[in-house]
Structure 1
């Protein structure tokens, strides 16, 4: 496993018909490459407002897109197809745990593809484990 500091996180809902993302205000964050089947774990400590936003997104366990910067703000962003696993309220702030895979496609292409897969009847877990994260 490899662990990196998560310095920027923007979430893109995939079920709202918009390419607008919401940048989260991180208190702390880390990202873990489990080095098996392109599986990644993202953990972010967020303020209350952003925590409430993520809680709303996570209620139906929909797949989301996450654009992140690792280690330094000037690094190139990486795009992940993720699913929120846990949202924990810690009074003034809270933490969010997400699992997913590194995406190899453009954000707009991913949003379109995920929408099509939903229309084709695939479940959220099937979408998450689909071709988006494969190391083809």
Structure 2
């Protein structure tokens, strides 16, 4: 297992057709790559009690949440995870919220978006493959 410092935590929420970002004021936290056969990550966050009812509701309804987290440094790119709450504990003036989930593969999302765009532009067959390879190389450089 590998453990990293959690430096930011946001919950993505769907409101109508829009995805909104709900920043969570993080007091402290860790994220642990369990390196198990299901590629699960454990996120331990220590937050203010103001979030207690929000997280209790999500746990009560066994709701899946999409989190955006930054590890180690604030300047790092956020990672997206699909999680469920596995525990909530009151600790002093705050609450400890434990999440378990898996990383959302953003690279895969980008590939799918690029393919969708090329198909909508009318590319197909060999031409689609050629254009996809060309665009993919441009994205890497």
Q: TM-score, normalised by structure 2?
A: 0.69
For these two proteins, the number of residue pairs brought into alignment is 106
Question: Relative contact order (C-alpha < 8 Å, sep 6+): which is higher?
Answer: 1
Work out whether residues 45 and 95 of structure 1, in 8 Å CA contact, stay in contact via their aligned partners in 2: yes
Query: 2: distance between equivalents of 1:4 and 1:51?
Result: 24
Gaps of 5+ in 2: 113-141
The answer for the alignment partner of 1:82 in structure 2 is 83
Which has more radius of gyration? 2
Name the Cα RMSD after superposition: 1.8
Q: Match of 2:102?
A: 101
SS at match of 1:53: helix
Partner of 2:88, secondary structure, is strand
Task: Look up the match of 2:26.
Answer: 26
> Aligned partners of 1:13, 1:97: CA distance in 2, in Å?
18
Contact 1:51–1:95 at 8 Å: present in 2 too? Answer: no
Distance 1:21 1:52 in 2: 18
1:127 aligns to what?
A: none
Partner of 1:133: none
Provide TM-score, normalisation by structure 1.
0.71
